[in-house]
A and B are shown apart, each in its own frame.
Chain A
């Protein structure tokens, strides 16, 4: 029997539908109670040479369900850390599966923490897995631990349920402190694979206070190629962020005529313009537009008067110039162009850059710069003077 007309069209459409559906299929179906939700990953140097120790933090779902939530918080930890050593990350993670009853699920990973030792030996090999695995997101935050990454992940969170999310929240706080850069895995790899700019990452450490362990994010780990070569403290980090135009908000402490004051940097914009002179000198012109506010002040002169505000502006300007100078000098020490000076040059002087690129490491050390800071003051809070006991 031949099939004709409408029946034929019907059959064709039905077949097409079936074929489209079969392209998908339910092979990747996984129920919620069969996955181990990873919320943090740590990478440390292995005990054996060339090995990597992978620590995955898995949200503990089973523990706090049945019993009532208040006791559950105290009794069982809200997370489980699993560690496995291996010659490569993927190998270790796959081996780890035999210790974890549920399927390791990386899509909800929040942070990748890299141990200091690991960072110093180069991390391009260990990051490969996180770029390759389609499940893992490239937007996870990347940090370098002062010490072991495994220990950072084992420090129990105080306000959040999971250390992974706590670290993520701490990074988010840098939007208002600007004492460490906010870096995603994607940013990091982007700067690592580029010649004209070097990679950097925030530093995280454990601080002990009153016998309790806390996590603290402060400072920057500076990379040269894939290896960590040094650290910036918070002061230098702020300078670095200014040069990079990544500074969002932060505070500065200044003394003006023996009056201590906290200045809030509410907004900072940097314009960076390179200039190559005929003798080959490379000059970086930086122009900063800073909006500052008076955060608090101690006894001394009232800073919130037009004349004294000028002094505040000068103090802020000087402080920022000093921060920038310190950052640039230190970066030169490390030979690491984390500011992307090379990138700027390649855009402004594409022809010269081709020659400069070869010897950029040497040239970077000789880069000169000038900084112009334009401060606008705003806000003094609810009062116009300080508390003056009489």
Chain B
């Protein structure tokens, strides 16, 4: 319902802006590259003005032949490649003039004189710009009505590091980085199979951000790939600076507080999801790779589950689900039992709690709201502050909130316990953390106003909402709702890896097997081999 309103608002805004844009909206026609180098250079200069990172290096073929210009962006290229493998051989080239036209010249240059691994022939100025701005060197030759894009990319980037958001005790420690190419290579290293397809997109009118989708041919449903491509192509925006931009454009329910697009920082997770028949979306400039479709239960699954013993993984998943309920319900539950349903508390505990609350000036609801908000403040501050200051903050937070506030009589000690367990449990399900905070507050207000009825109603509303959600056509709550017995093998429970015989039913194309042969148990005593 809420998303319905949002959609309406979106359409309204778009219509309003339509009238403002008008002429800007007209898409430029492609301009072909002309054979006249000076004309091309003039065009170039007009476009880039005095931008000082764009370098135009002019020289002559073979030292005295045709005029050439090499266009590249300083900082995005490797100087060595430009100097040694492009300019030097071209200047030293001995190219006779008796070639039959420009195409033969291009072929000769490509085959004999440039020591670069990737060469593309470009026909339009737009392509040339795009190529240069992406880090290639673009070679224009006088009298030739096309340009050559030469791969000379080389820019500063972070090395592959440990993931900051998804720590593991056991499992690969490498993480995606900001460079898309590195990221695709990290996935490719996990799945050495030609069926792994990367398809490239460029999204963002101004940023022209390279985006790539990855999927496993014959495993991933073609309809899903088609749908992902359709949604990505439909994005028409100025800028894409992080995968979060894409996420907001492609999610099924922009109005929902629940995340219906998954993200990960770990190549092994991305690879696992691709192997299950999902599609990964890799966006240049961010280490967070999106995976779709994303089901609610995936929020409770961690990469490490699959590397540990299955019974322990199942146990941990149950703990995470309990933790999720605690984190959204604990404050609401505490407020409701202390203000409406005191008969539910064992007498000795009730007396202890009443003693702790003695002298506290605020109603339990205000006290609780105060603590929830204060915790969020501390958490937010902890993320933003520089690390050395962050430590001081945690000490202040612990002392002030934990101890001083209680002894000063501002809040009761049980409330501190409730908020502490709420906060800690929240970190068990980081994927849904944003939603948890909102749900926690909503349920708290419902509990304070309407007691147990309020909580029951709130949970009911959440359940209805969750069951109405979809992620790329897959019911968000599947395989629990609609229930699928076979897919329970990797849901709340996790069966041993060798029993994970088939891929998730709805996700992958049919008759696909994850495990081809269940190993025999014990020592082979037949001695046949």
A-side interface residues toward B, CB under 8 Å?
6-7, 9-10, 13, 17, 20-21, 23-26, 28-33, 35, 37, 39, 59, 61-62, 64-66, 105, 107-108, 110, 135, 137, 161, 165
Neighbour of B451 across the interface among A9, A10, A13, A26, CB < 8 A:
A26
User: A residues within 8 A CB of B350?
Assistant: 32, 37, 108
Is A165's CB under 8 angstroms from B347's CB? Answer: yes
10 additional A-B pairs beyond A64-B355, A161-B351, beta carbons within 8 Å, are A21-B449, A21-B453, A25-B449, A26-B449, A29-B340, A30-B340, A32-B353, A62-B358, A107-B343, A135-B343
Q: Is B450 an interface residue (CB 8 A)?
A: yes
Q: Is B469 an interface residue (CB 8 A)?
A: no
Please measure, in the bound complex, the distance between the C-alpha atom of A26 and the C-alpha atom of B335, giving whole angstroms.
12
Distance of B111 from chain A, by nearest CB (Å): 63
Is A23's CB under 8 angstroms from B453's CB? Answer: yes
Distance of A13 from chain B, by nearest CB (Å): 7
Q: Quick one: CB contact mask for B427-451 with A, threshold 8 Å, 1 for yes?
A: 0000000000000000000101111
Please measure, in the bound complex, the distance between the C-alpha atom of A24 and the C-alpha atom of B358, giving whole angstroms.
27
Q: Is B95 an interface residue (CB 8 A)?
A: no
Is B4's CB under 8 angstroms from A10's CB? Answer: yes
Is A108's CB under 8 angstroms from B451's CB? Answer: no
Neighbour of A30 across the interface among B1, B4, B339, B356, CB < 8 A:
B339
Of A6, A13, A108, A110, most B-chain CB atoms within 10 Å: A108
Is B450's CB under 8 angstroms from A26's CB? Answer: yes
Please measure, in the bound complex, the distance between the C-alpha atom of A102 and the C-alpha atom of B95, giving whole angstroms.
104
User: A residues within 8 A CB of B446?
Assistant: 21
User: B residues within 8 A CB of A33?
Assistant: 354, 357-360
3 shortest interchain CB distances as A-B pairs: A107-B343, A24-B453, A24-B450
Contacts A/B (CB < 8 Å), 26 sampled: A6-B1, A10-B1, A10-B4, A13-B1, A17-B457, A20-B453, A20-B457, A23-B453, A24-B454, A25-B449, A26-B448, A28-B340, A28-B451, A30-B340, A31-B364, A32-B338, A32-B342, A32-B364, A33-B359, A37-B342, A37-B350, A107-B342, A107-B343, A108-B342, A108-B350, A110-B347
Q: A17-B457, A105-B342, A107-B342 known; A66 and B359 CB under 8 Å?
A: yes
User: B472-524: which residues lie under 8 A (CB-CB) from chain A?
Assistant: none
When C-beta atoms are compared, the residue in chain B nearest to A137 turns out to be: B343
User: B residues within 8 A CB of A29?
Assistant: 339-340, 451
Distance of A390 from chain B, by nearest CB (Å): 52
Is B359's CB under 8 angstroms from A65's CB? Answer: yes
Distance of B334 from chain A, by nearest CB (Å): 11
Please measure, in the bound complex, the distance between the C-alpha atom of A280 and the C-alpha atom of B348, giving whole angstroms.
55
B-side interface residues toward A, CB under 8 Å?
1, 4-5, 338-340, 342-343, 347-348, 350-351, 353-360, 363-364, 446, 448-451, 453-454, 457, 461
When C-beta atoms are compared, the residue in chain A nearest to B356 turns out to be: A65
When C-beta atoms are compared, the residue in chain B nearest to A9 turns out to be: B1
User: B residues within 8 A CB of A17?
Assistant: 457, 461
Distance of A5 from chain B, by nearest CB (Å): 10
Neighbour of A39 across the interface among B338, B347, B359, B457, CB < 8 A:
B347
Is B342's CB under 8 angstroms from A21's CB? Answer: no
Please measure, in the bound complex, the distance between the C-alpha atom of A32 and the C-alpha atom of B413, giving whole angstroms.
14
User: B residues within 8 A CB of A24?
Assistant: 450-451, 453-454
User: B residues within 8 A CB of A25?
Assistant: 449-450
Is A59's CB under 8 angstroms from B450's CB? Answer: no
Is A37's CB under 8 angstroms from B343's CB? Answer: no
Distance of A71 from chain B, by nearest CB (Å): 15
User: A residues within 8 A CB of B342?
Assistant: 30, 32, 35, 37, 105, 107-108
Distance of B200 from chain A, by nearest CB (Å): 38
Is A65's CB under 8 angstroms from B358's CB? Answer: yes
Distance of B452 from chain A, by nearest CB (Å): 8
Is B359's CB under 8 angstroms from A108's CB? Answer: no
How many A-B pairs fall under 8 Å by CB? 91
Distance of A321 from chain B, by nearest CB (Å): 42
Please measure, in the bound complex, the distance between the C-alpha atom of A275 and the C-alpha atom of B299, giving whole angstroms.
68
Distance of B98 from chain A, by nearest CB (Å): 74
User: A residues within 8 A CB of B356?
Assistant: 65
User: A residues within 8 A CB of B357?
Assistant: 31-33
Of A30, A35, A65, A161, most B-chain CB atoms within 10 Å: A65
Please measure, in the bound complex, the distance between the C-alpha atom of A28 and the C-alpha atom of B450, giving whole angstroms.
9
User: B residues within 8 A CB of A59?
Assistant: 351, 354
Is B338's CB under 8 angstroms from A21's CB? Answer: no
Please measure, in the bound complex, the distance between the C-alpha atom of A61 and the C-alpha atom of B349, giving whole angstroms.
12
Distance of A58 from chain B, by nearest CB (Å): 11
User: A residues within 8 A CB of B457?
Assistant: 17, 20-21
Is A61's CB under 8 angstroms from B358's CB? Answer: yes
Neighbour of B339 across the interface among A10, A31, A66, CB < 8 A:
A31
Distance of B443 from chain A, by nearest CB (Å): 13
Is B454's CB under 8 angstroms from A21's CB? Answer: yes
Please measure, in the bound complex, the distance between the C-alpha atom of A32 and the C-alpha atom of B356, giving whole angstroms.
10
Is A61's CB under 8 angstroms from B339's CB? Answer: no
Is B351's CB under 8 angstroms from A37's CB? Answer: yes
Is A108's CB under 8 angstroms from B449's CB? Answer: no
When C-beta atoms are compared, the residue in chain B nearest to A109 turns out to be: B347
When C-beta atoms are compared, the residue in chain B nearest to A160 turns out to be: B348
Distance of B521 from chain A, by nearest CB (Å): 46
User: B residues within 8 A CB of A7?
Assistant: 4
User: B residues within 8 A CB of A37?
Assistant: 342, 347, 350-351, 354
User: A residues within 8 A CB of B1?
Assistant: 6, 9-10, 13
Please measure, in the bound complex, the distance between the C-alpha atom of A25 and the C-alpha atom of B188, giving whole angstroms.
59
Please measure, in the bound complex, the distance between the C-alpha atom of A20 and the C-alpha atom of B450, giving whole angstroms.
10
Distance of A28 from chain B, by nearest CB (Å): 7
Please measure, in the bound complex, the distance between the C-alpha atom of A9 and the C-alpha atom of B359, giving whole angstroms.
47
When C-beta atoms are compared, the residue in chain A nearest to B409 turns out to be: A66
User: B residues within 8 A CB of A110?
Assistant: 347
Distance of A227 from chain B, by nearest CB (Å): 32
Neighbour of A65 across the interface among B338, B355, B449, CB < 8 A:
B355
Please measure, in the bound complex, the distance between the C-alpha atom of A105 and the C-alpha atom of B347, giving whole angstroms.
12
Please measure, in the bound complex, the distance between the C-alpha atom of A39 and the C-alpha atom of B354, giving whole angstroms.
14
User: A residues within 8 A CB of B338?
Assistant: 31-32
Distance of B254 from chain A, by nearest CB (Å): 16
When C-beta atoms are compared, the residue in chain B nearest to A7 turns out to be: B4
Distance of A61 from chain B, by nearest CB (Å): 5
Please measure, in the bound complex, the distance between the C-alpha atom of A39 and the C-alpha atom of B347, giving whole angstroms.
8
Please measure, in the bound complex, the distance between the C-alpha atom of A66 and the C-alpha atom of B358, giving whole angstroms.
9
When C-beta atoms are compared, the residue in chain B nearest to A23 turns out to be: B453
User: B residues within 8 A CB of A108?
Assistant: 342-343, 347, 350
Distance of B338 from chain A, by nearest CB (Å): 5
Distance of A111 from chain B, by nearest CB (Å): 12
Please measure, in the bound complex, the distance between the C-alpha atom of A174 and the C-alpha atom of B458, giving whole angstroms.
45
When C-beta atoms are compared, the residue in chain B nearest to A69 turns out to be: B355
When C-beta atoms are compared, the residue in chain B nearest to A33 turns out to be: B357
Please measure, in the bound complex, the distance between the C-alpha atom of A59 and the C-alpha atom of B454, giving whole angstroms.
30
Please measure, in the bound complex, the distance between the C-alpha atom of A35 and the C-alpha atom of B357, giving whole angstroms.
12
Please measure, in the bound complex, the distance between the C-alpha atom of A59 and the C-alpha atom of B358, giving whole angstroms.
13
When C-beta atoms are compared, the residue in chain B nearest to A10 turns out to be: B1
Is A32's CB under 8 angstroms from B347's CB? Answer: no
Distance of B18 from chain A, by nearest CB (Å): 24
User: A residues within 8 A CB of B5?
Assistant: 10
Please measure, in the bound complex, the distance between the C-alpha atom of A146 and the C-alpha atom of B358, giving whole angstroms.
37
When C-beta atoms are compared, the residue in chain A nearest to B339 turns out to be: A29
Please measure, in the bound complex, the distance between the C-alpha atom of A31 and the C-alpha atom of B342, giving whole angstroms.
9
When C-beta atoms are compared, the residue in chain A nearest to B7 turns out to be: A6
Distance of A110 from chain B, by nearest CB (Å): 7
When C-beta atoms are compared, the residue in chain B nearest to A22 turns out to be: B450
Of A26, A28, A29, A137, most B-chain CB atoms within 10 Å: A29
Of B338, B351, B448, B450, most A-chain CB atoms within 10 Å: B351
User: A residues within 8 A CB of B454?
Assistant: 21, 24
Is B450's CB under 8 angstroms from A21's CB? Answer: yes
Distance of A7 from chain B, by nearest CB (Å): 8
Please measure, in the bound complex, the distance between the C-alpha atom of A37 and the C-alpha atom of B342, giving whole angstroms.
10
Distance of B451 from chain A, by nearest CB (Å): 6
Distance of A138 from chain B, by nearest CB (Å): 13
User: A residues within 8 A CB of B449?
Assistant: 21, 25-26
User: B residues within 8 A CB of A13?
Assistant: 1
